Amino acid sequence: MKDIRAYLSEHGIRPSVQRISIMEYLLTHKTHPTVDEMFIALSDSMPTLSKTTLYNTLKLFVDRQVVLMLGLDEKNARFDGDVSPHAHFKCSCCGRVEDIFEDELPELNLVFKNNIGRRFIMQTELSYTGYCSDCYDKRIQSIDNSITNTI
């Protein structure tokens, strides 16, 4: 895609094939993938891709502010091509990481600030953990069943 080349160039990143693929993956997959998830997916179209290249490239992207590294998953770092201010939710049941935007959390923008006290803020991360709507429904249902079974 021509615009990905431009996007990278604008941020001082020379657009190699690997870098374009990795950036494109992050822009088209809003799943906040781990390194391994990306590596497996990208290896299909780029069998020679090295995991080191993936790590190096992600580090470069994060440094240049075109990608966000999320810390809400203790096990693996997760990455996000959307650098606009938004929050994240991780379901501790199914593991998925969802975006939370203003429509669901209008108070969101109030905590994204440039400074707090005399501190200079460079990054804000607002993350939630709990049960996603699917898993919550299943849980309720299984409780209902267990009550029914007990009667």
Partner DNA sequence: AATAGATTTGTAATCATTACATAAATGAAA
Partner DNA sequence: TTTCATTTATGTAATGATTACAAATCTATT
- Tell the smallest beta-carbon distance from residue 30 to a second copy (Å): 16
Contact 80, 87 (CB under 8 A): no
State the nearest-atom distance from the C-beta of 52 to Mn ion, in Å: 25
Binding mask 118-137 for a second copy (x = CB under 8 A): xxxxxxxxxxxxxxxx--xx
CA dist 110 and 72 (Å) reads: 20
DSSP character for 45? H
Of 4, 11, 72, 99, the one binding a second copy by CB under 8 A: 72
Cα–Cα distance measured from residue 51 to residue 38, given in angstroms and rounded to the nearest whole number: 10
Cα 146-95-41 angle, rounded to 5 deg: 135
Residue 92's binding partner out of Mn ion, a second copy, DNA, none, with CB under 5 to 8 Å set by partner kind: a second copy
d(CA 128, CA 54): 27
Contact positions vs a second copy (CB under 8 A): 69, 71-72, 74, 77, 87, 89, 91-92, 98, 100, 104-105, 107-108, 110-111, 113, 115-133, 136-137
